[in-house]
Structure formats: structure tokens, C-alpha cells
Structure 1
Amino acid sequence: MKRLLKVLLPILLLAIGFGVFQMLKATKPEKQSPTVQERVWRVEVEPVELVRASPELELYGQVETPDLLRATASAAAWVTEVQVQDGDLVEKGQVLLRLDERDFLPRIAQVEAEIADLQAQIESEQNRFETDKLALEQERRLLELARQGVARQQRLKTQKVGAEQALDEAEQAEAQQQLAVSQREMNIADHPSRLRALQARLASAEARLLELELEYERATVRAPYDGIISRVAVTEGDQVSKGEALARLYAIDSLEIRARVPAPYQDELIAALRQGEPLTASTTIGGERLALTLDRLAGEADPSGVDALFQVQGDPAVLRLGQLLTVQLERPAREAVVAVPFRAVYGGGRLYVVEDGRMRGIDVESLGTREGDGDEERLLVQSDALAPGDALVTTHMPNAIEGLRVEIINDEALEGTAGGASEAVSDRTLGPAADAVPADAASSGLSAAGGRTR
């Protein structure tokens, strides 16, 4: 009996335990399965507005001028007076500096004396010519008398009453007189050559005098126009050589701005200039905006672009030669463009709009920047997929994705806009809203349709 009890007792305990387990399992409370609720991100939007606008192109330019005057020394001299400094505003005719007149006057006096000597030589040559003409007549008469004397002696010799010596003497006198006449004729014939030589020397001396007088006149350096002194290279007491730079001056009205235009924009600017379309620009100096106008493009270009030259429409006195400036150029106007804040742009060419409570990505073409209301710089974009009144997402989400469910928090921005904006607001799903957009929005367990563009 005891032996049977030892065998049945363990089996009985196991049966009781299994029965208790089955009872507990059958009577345990049912656990409800958790429901996954999709999260909604709060965003701000603004309505899409298609406008006609001119994209702005930011350029970096430098102030220059084609009328830079470099005043140089007219001759080797000493500087006796300097009346201007670098940066001075000067008026036309104002004295800038002077060179010592004692370096000019002695040379002028020397050339004047040379001219007086040549003029006297010319007068002497004229007198000599008149004298030679009168003397030639007398010489020819004497030659005729000498010839008559020879003929007389020949007759006497033929009659054998004349001496041979007398005939020789008569012939010798005739030959000498013939030589005198030839010499006088040669002097008269050479008169034009001698006179031209003296006149040429006189003309050379007079030209030299004009040159020296011009050098003396330029010893006092004056401003040829209203301008600004950009450099003074000498001081009183300096010795300068001919052609050495003394000062630099440029006209205020001649200032222009040269800026490099990138190659992709070169063709549209050339086309606008050919059509006579005015292209305006501006730059900011000391908080004040200065108006500019695109005047022309440079004659040479390289693979990086071409230089554009801008005329100043405002007061050019605020500019200085060599000054570096940022120029905002208004490119030719484009139709049906949208000005969007930079925070709404992803990857430089993608926007998001809200449709049926979800974000839909749109690829756009970036045209350039434009200053909007409140001096806010905006990006001008263009796309056929953008329609007026679309709810453009302006809250920047670090990991924005296609199909992300959102809630618009500034409904008033869409009031009065067309169709799709109201529909985008109506299909919202209640749930915990995020006051801030976390960086891990894409990892919240949502299934997204389409790819993700940053």
C-alpha cells in the first residue's frame, strides 16, 4: 500500500499543478494590442504668388577711371612748392605744385640769344647778297675793259709797235678779272642755300624756345578739371628729373565700377544690351544705396566670365579710386517666378508644399536672389508645378521627406488664397503635436512615399 502511494502521489501533484496552470491561463485578463498613432509636425506656410521680377546677381567690383592724370615734371628741376595732399578735392585751374623757375629761365635766355644771333646773320646775308649783285655789275664792266685792253695790245703787236710783255700783262689782267666775276657769280648763286641754312637754324632755335617756354609754363602744375588727388609723390626741396611723376589726379565724374560677371550670365546681358534694355544695379556705401547702370561689357573675356562696367547715377563723390564694392545687378525680368525665403529651399532646387495635410516636394529652377519686404533677401525660383495659392512650407526641417504629415500653425497666411490651401488644412489628424521639429523626424516610424532631398 505504501509502495503504491509513493507512485501515485507525484503523479497526483503534477496533475494538480497542470490543472492550476490551465485554470490561471484561462482566467488571465486579455491585454489590448497597442495602437500606433502617426505624429504630426507643426509648420508655417505662406501662399505661392507668381510675379514678374528681375533676379539680382551679386557681383564684386572695383572703382576705376579711364581719366587718371599723372602729372610729371616737364624738365629736370627742384620742387619749390606743394599745395595739395593726397585725397584733396581740387577745382579746375587750381595750383597743385611748382618747380623752381631758375631751372628754366637761363635756358630760355640762351636760346633767345641764339635766335637773335641767327636773325642778325640772316640780315647780314641779305645785305651781302645785295652787295654782290651791285659788285657783279662792276666786275663785269672791269672784265670788259680788260678784254678791250688785250685786244688793243694784240693790234699794237700786229703793227709791231707793242711789246710782248704788255700783251702778257693785259691777258693776265683779263684772266684775273674773269676769276673775280666767276667768284662773284658763285656767291650770288649760293645765296639761297646759305639763306635756307640760316633760316633752318633759326626755325630750330625758335622751336627750342617754344619747347622751353612750354616747359616753363608747365613748371606750375594746375588741375585740368575738378577732381581728387590720389597721390602726391614729391615734397618741397625734392630734385626731380624730366618725366618723373609728381602727383596723380582723377575726375570725379569719370569714376566707374568694373565687376566680373560669371560666364553663365554673359549671354543674357549681351542680349539685353543689344536690345537696348536698361539694366540697373546698386551698391551700398556707408549704409546709403548708390544707383548704378550697366554701361557696357569689356572687350575681352576669359573662361570665368567678362568684366561689366557700371556708370554711377548717384553722387560719385562718395567713391574712391580702387575701392572694392559689392554690386547688386538686376538681371532681365522673368515672368511667373516665386520669391521664397532661403529657409524653404532644400538642396538649392527643391521646395515643399502642403497638400491634403502632407508635404509634397517640387523641383524648381533657381534664378537668383531678390530683396523682399523688410530687406529680407529671397530666392527667385520657377517651376510649372507651382500654382498661385499653394501652401509653401517655410519652416525648415532638417530631414524633410515626401509625404510627411504636417499641421499648419498660421492659417491666417492662407486666407483669401485659392483652393488647395484650405484643403491642405482640412485633413489634419489629431495627435501629439511637436512644438519643435526634431532632427530625427525621418526616423519616427513613418512610412514615406518617394525619396528624401535635403
Structure 2
Amino acid sequence: MSRLLKVILPVLILAIGFGAFRLLVATKPEKASPSVQERVWRVAVEPVELLTAAPQLELYGRVETPDLLRATAPASAWVTEVLVQDGDVVAEGDVLLRLDERDFEPRIAQVEAEIADLEAQIASEKNRFETDRLALEQEQRLLKLAQDAVERQQRLKTQQVGAEQALDDAKRTEAQQQLTVTNREMSIADHPSRLRGLEARLASAKARLAELRLEFERATLKAPYDGIVTGVEVTEGDQVTKGEALVRLYATESLEIRARIPAPYQDEMIEAVKQDLSLSASATIGGESLQLRFDRLAGEADPSGVDALFKLDGDPTLLRLGQLLTVSLERPMREAVVEVPFRAVYGGGRIYLVEDGRMRGIDVESLGTRISAAGEERLLVRSDQLAAGDALVTTHMPNAIEGLRVAIVGAEPAGSSREPTPTPTPAPGPSPEPDVAEATSGAPDSPN
């Protein structure tokens, strides 16, 4: 009996264990299969607004002027007074410096004396001419008497009652009187030449006097126009020579800004000039905006572009010659353009819209920048696929791709017919990103 028990008991224990195992397997709870849910990215959007606007082109310009005056000394003199210094703003007629007048007065007095002498010589020449004219009449009568005397002596000699000596004396007197008449006639004939010579010398002296008086007038150097002094080359007590530089200044009204137009925009500017378009520009100095006006293109260009010249519509005293400025040029108007923030543009030519809770990429043409009404610099883009009211993604997504699931922060885009996927409750562990809803599996993370 005990032997049989030893054989049955192990078999019974194995049967009971196997039955318990089968019972546990049959009654174990079923494990739920894991669900895969797409990650939803929270983004900000703004509605697309189609505008007619002028793209702005940022240029770097330099202030210059074609009217840089270099005032020089009119003659050798001493500097007695200097009334300006570098950087002074002067008005038309303001005295800049004075030269010693005593260096000019003796030369003027000398030429005035020469003029008086020439005027006296001219008057004497006219008197001489009148005297010669009157004397010629008398000498011609004397010549007639001498000729009559010769004829009388010749008749007496023919009648053999006159002496040979008397005839010779009569002929000698006639010849001498003829010579006198000839000299007088020559003197009268030379009168116009002598008079013209004296008058020419007088005119030369008067021109010299006018030159000296002009030099004397310029001894007091005055500003010829409203301008800014860029340099004073002398000081009181200096001795200067004729033509030596004294003061340099430029007219404030003649200031202009020269800026290089890059080669890609050169054809556009040339076409604007052909169509006589009025293009405006602006620059900022010390927090104050200056309005500029496109005036003309330079006569020369090179492979990098062509220079544009701008006139100033504003207070020119804010500018200084040689100053460097950042110029914002208003290019020709474009239609159906959209202002977008720079963070909304990927790769320089792609933006994303939100449609049915997903991102849709659109390739756009970049036209340039523009300062918005809020003072923010924005990019102007254009595309036939953009329509007014489209939801433009303004949050920069490092992993932006076509079809990425997104949720709009604060509101749904107009026209969306599909609710965003609910955000699952995150499991215990590290906190999720502040602008991203955590899920069991994520979308592709490759950046665009």
C-alpha cells in the first residue's frame, strides 16, 4: 500500500500543478494594444492680406556735393581777422575773414594816377589835332604865296629883268613851305592812330583798376551762399600769396547722397527713369528721419551696379560732407503682395499656410523689405497661390514640413472643417515642451 502511494502521489501533484497553470492562463487579464497618436504642434498664425505696396531696398550712401568752394587769396596780403572755424554754419553774406586793406590801396592809387595821366594825354592829343588843322590852313596859304613868288621870278628872268639868285631863293622858300605842309598833313593823318593808342592804354589801365578794386573788395571774404565751413587754412597774422587757399565751404542746398544700386536691381531703376517715375527714399540720422528724392543715375556703371543720386527734402544742416548713411529706397509699386515677418520664411522663398489642421508649403517670390505701420521690418512676397484670409504660419518651426499636424494658438483658422486631434494625457516623467502637446509617437523631426 505504501508502495502504491509513493507512485501515485507524485503523479497527483503534477496533475494538480498543471491544472492550476491552465487555470491561471485561462483567467489572466488581456493587455490592451498600444495606440499610436500623432504629435500636434502649436503655432501662431496671421491672416494673409493682399496689398499694393512699394518694396524697399536698403542701400548704403555717402553725402557729397558738386559745389565744394575753395576760397583763395585775391592777391598777396596779410590776414588781419578770421571769423569762422571748421564746422560753422554760415549764411549768405556772412564775413569769413579779412585781409589787410593797406596791401591793396597803394596799387589802386598808382593805377588811378596812370589813368589820370592817360586822360590828360588824350585831351592834349585832341588839342594838338585842332591846332594842326588850323595851322595847316595857314601853311597852305603860305605855300601858295611861295609858289606865286617862284612864278613871278621866272617871268622876270624870262624878261631878263630878274636875277638868278632871287629865283633860287623863291624856289627854296617854296620847297621849305611844301615840307612844312607835308609834315602838318602827316601829323593830322596820324592823329587817329595816336588817339587809339592812348585810348587803348587808358582802357587797359581802367581794366587793371577794376581788377585791383575787385581784389580789394575780396579782401573781405564773404560767404557766397548758405553753407558749412569744412576747413580754415590760415590764422590771423599769416601772410598769403595770390591763389593760396584760405577757407573751404560747401552749399547746404547742393548736398546729395550717392548710393550704389546692386546689379540685380539696375534694370528696374533704369526702367523707372525711362518712365519718369517719382521714387522716394529715407534715411535716419540721430533718430530723425530725412526724406530723400531720387534725382538721377550716375553716368558710369560697373559689374557691381550703378550709382543713384538722391536730393534731400528736409533740413540739410543735419548732413555733413562725406557722411555715410543707410538709405531705404521705395522701389516701383507692386500689386497683390503680402507683408510677412522674416521668421515665417524658410530658405528665402517658402512659407506655410494652415489648412485643415496641417501645414501646406507655398513657394513665393521675394520682392524686398518694407517697414510696416507698426515699425517692424517685414518681407514682401508674392505668389499666385496666396489668397486674402489664408492662415499664414508665423511661428518658426525648425522641423517644418508639408503636412505637419498643427494647432493654432488661441483660435482655429477660418474655413477649417476638421477638429485637431485631442492631446493625450502625458505619462509621468519629464515635462513636455511648452508649445507642443506630448503624444505616444512623434511626427518626422527632419528640418525643412
Q: Structure 1 length normalisation: TM-score?
A: 0.82
TM-fit CA distance, 1:445: 7.5
Match of 2:10 in 1: none
Tell me how far apart the structure 2 counterparts of residues 93 and 446 of structure 1 sit (CA, whole Å).
78
> Which of 427, 433, 436 lines up with 1:435 in the alignment?
433
1:42·1:435 contact (CA, 8 Å) conserved in 2? no
Q: Structure 2 matches for 1:281-430, cutoff 5 A? A: 281-408=281-408, 410-412=409-411, 418-419=414-415, 422-423=416-417, 426-428=419-421, 430=423
**Paired residue total:** 418
Which residue of 2 is the match for residue 60 of structure 1?
60
Q: Within 5 Å, give how 1:38-77 maps onto structure 2.
A: 38-77=38-77
Aligned to 1:211: 211
Give unpaired runs (5+ residues) of structure 2.
1-17
Distance 2:373 2:208 in 1: 70
Unaligned runs of 5+ in 1: 1-19, 439-443
Give 1:83's aligned residue: 83
User: Does the 8 Å CA contact 2:363/2:383 hold for their aligned counterparts?
Assistant: yes
Bigger shift: 281-290 or 393-402? 393-402
Superposed displacement of residue 76, structure 1: 2.3
- Give % identity: 72
Shift of 1:200: 0.8
Matched residues in 2 for 1:238 and 1:107: separation?
21
One-letter code aligned to 1:435: E
- Corresponding residue number in structure 2 for 1:166: 166
1:120 and 2:120 matched: yes
Q: Is the 8 A contact 1:346 1:453 kept in 2?
A: no
Distance 1:167 1:434, change over 3 A: farther
Give the CA deviation at 1:37: 4.4
Give RMSD over aligned pairs. Answer: 3.1
Cα distance in 2 for residues equivalent to 1:293 and 1:155: 106
Q: CA deviation at 1:338?
A: 1.4
Distance in structure 2 (CA, Å) of the matches to 1:333 and 1:418? 30
Question: What is the CA-CA distance between 1:382 and the residue it aligns to?
Answer: 0.8
- What SS class does the counterpart of residue 46 from structure 2 fall into? strand
- The one-letter amino acid paired with 2:332 is P
Shift in Å at residue 153 of structure 1? 2.2
Distance 2:272 2:305 in 1: 17
Once residues 147 and 333 of structure 1 are traced to their aligned partners in structure 2, the CA distance between those partners, rounded to angstroms, is 106
Deviation at 1:130, TM superposition (A): 1.4
Please state whether the residue corresponding to 1:381 is helix, strand or coil: strand
Structure-2 separation of matches of 1:141 and 1:289: 96
Bigger shift: 367-376 or 338-347? 367-376
Contact 1:354–1:393 (CA under 8 A) maintained in structure 2: yes
Deviates more, 1:240-249 or 1:133-142: 240-249
SS at 2:116 equivalent: helix
Match of 1:279 in 2: 279
Distance 1:280 1:453 in 2: 40
Deviations along 1:385-437, one digit per CA (max 9) or x if unpaired, are 122232222222334322333333x133x5xx631xx347x233635695268
Q: Shift of residue 232 of structure 1? A: 1.6
Contact 2:39 2:442 in 1 (8 A): no
Deviation at 1:362, TM superposition (A): 0.9
Q: In the alignment, is the contact (CA less than 8 A) between 1:132 and 1:188 conserved in 2?
A: yes
The answer (yes or no) to whether the contact 1:42–1:434 under 8 Å persists in 2 is no
Q: Distance in 1 between matches of 2:287 and 2:84?
A: 30
Q: Is the 8 A contact 1:61 1:258 kept in 2?
A: yes
Q: 1:250 to 1:238 in 2, by over 3 A?
A: same
Give the SS at the match of 1:411. coil
Residue-by-residue CA offset, 1:174-230 (whole Å, 9 max, x unaligned): 112111111111111111111111111111111111111111111111122333222
Q: What SS is found at the alignment partner of 1:175? A: helix
Amino acid at match of 1:411: G
**CA–CA separation in structure 2 for the residues paired with 1:377 and 1:423:** 34
Q: Which residue of 2 aligns with 1:10?
A: none
Asked whether the equivalents of residues 397 and 437 of structure 1 are also in contact (C-alpha less than 8 Å), the reply is no
| TM-score of the superposed pair, with normalisation by structure 2 | 0.83
| CA apart distance, 1:366 | 0.5
> SS in structure 2 opposite 1:375?
coil
1:238 aligned residue: 238
Amino acid at match of 2:347: G
Amino acid at match of 1:298: A
The aligned amino acid for 2:329 is L
Q: Which amino acid aligns with 2:339?
A: A
The Cα shift of 1:150 comes to: 1.8
Write the distance in 1 (CA, Å) between the matches of 2:302 and 2:435. 47
Say which SS state the counterpart of residue 57 (structure 1) adopts: strand
Amino acid at match of 2:341: P
Q: CA deviation at 1:276?
A: 5.4
Within 2, Cα distance between the matches of 1:185 and 1:52?
94
- CA distance in structure 2 between the aligned counterparts of 1:121 and 1:348, rounded to whole angstroms: 90
Counterpart CA distance in 2 for 1:315 and 1:116 is 53
Does 270-279 or 392-401 show the bigger shift? 270-279
Quick one: distance in 2 between partners of 1:394 and 1:235? 64
Q: Is the 8 A contact 1:60 1:260 kept in 2?
A: yes
- Equivalent residue runs for 1:78-117 within 5 Å: 78-117=78-117
Task: Give, in whole Å, the separation in 2 of the partners of 1:423 and 1:234.
Answer: 83
**Matched residue, 1:195:** 195
